Amino acid sequence: MVFENSRALIVEGGAMRGIFASGVLDAFMTTDFRPYDFAMGVSAGASNLLGYLSHQPKRSYNVITELATSNRFFNPRRFLKGGDLVDVNWLWKESNRRYPIDKRTLFSSIPIWATVTNVSNGHADYYRITESNIKDAMVASAALPIAVKTPPCFSGGCYTDGGVADSIPVKEAYRRGARDITVILSHPLSYHMNPTKHPWLMRKLLSRYPGVTEAMLHRAENYNASLEFIRNPPADSVVKVIAPPENFPVKRLTMKPETIEEGYLMGVEAGHSHIANLMGRHGLTEENCHFCI
């Protein structure tokens, strides 16, 4: 599906770092700020988009702070005994039991795509979220390789976390016709992903899935290429970035409540600042504020 000269919202994943995007999108909801034609999310980013597009403030915050921090979801002891490090199926079911998605609002909003990685070839696939595939696509998008022993399968394929193949699908949004792209990142703008230090270990751990292995080995290269696209977009497009500050304290596996709360409030502040920048309240315009943080 192509949206010519459209506006897209892209939300990166990043496990617990997703609390920043949660704050940004909650800030957007306070003023019903939704100037986009379509959205694309990856892993935790896709989950954050569900709360935003169903207009359910604090839903993503609650899922992260109450459920993603639970040892029912993240359990190293279970992993050492041969189970999954993270139970994405439990997280999906429990989050929807406690905080049911307002599907009427969600599916009357702009279309949303979840990014997944096809285990057969290591390439990114993009599933438009519908009532029939929402559970499968969301679980697949967050099913981290190695952390989830058996990749979830649906629609004729098996998949792992979308961040393996395309952590920031800005190029895909551009390919689909977006020429005004807003990206919510999980790392500060200065971030640069380094290649894996032990490729031999990656090949050993993922020996059953050579396509995923290759995607993991090239992940840093692809990630940095997306950042380069963001910093130097094509001449016919504008990319706006909302990124955590340099002192953002939340890491991928941060579980400390006060640290997560701090990261959330940074996201809320960044969301409000983004709207203010676009409205010229800080004296900034699209001409002199390319990133509009």
- 108 is a catalytic site residue: no
Please tell me the pTM assigned to this model.
0.93
Q: What tens digit of pLDDT does each residue of 89-119 get?
A: 999 999 999 999 999 999 999 999 999 999 9
Distances from the Cα of 32 to the Cαs of 100, 105, 123, 286, in angstroms? 20, 13, 35, 21
Q: Is 19 helix (H, G, I), strand (E, B) or coil?
A: helix
pLDDT of amino acid 201: 87
Give start and end residues of each alpha helix (H) in 153-255: 170-175, 199-205, 210-217, 219-231
Structure tokens at 186: 């999980």
- 161 is a catalytic site residue: yes
Which is catalytic among the residues 161, 166, 167, 180? 161
Q: Where are the domains of the chain?
A: 6-288
Confidence band for 205, pLDDT divided at 50, 70 and 90: confident
Domain 6-288, CATH: 3.40.1090
pLDDT at 1 over 90: no
Q: Which residues of 221-234 are buried (b: 16+ CB within 10 A; e: fewer)?
A: ebbeebbebbeebe
Which is catalytic among the residues 43, 47, 186, 226? 43
pLDDT of amino acid 59: 97
Structure tokens at 169: 């699908």
Q: Name the residue among 63, 58, 55, 46 with its Cα closest to residue 12.
A: 46
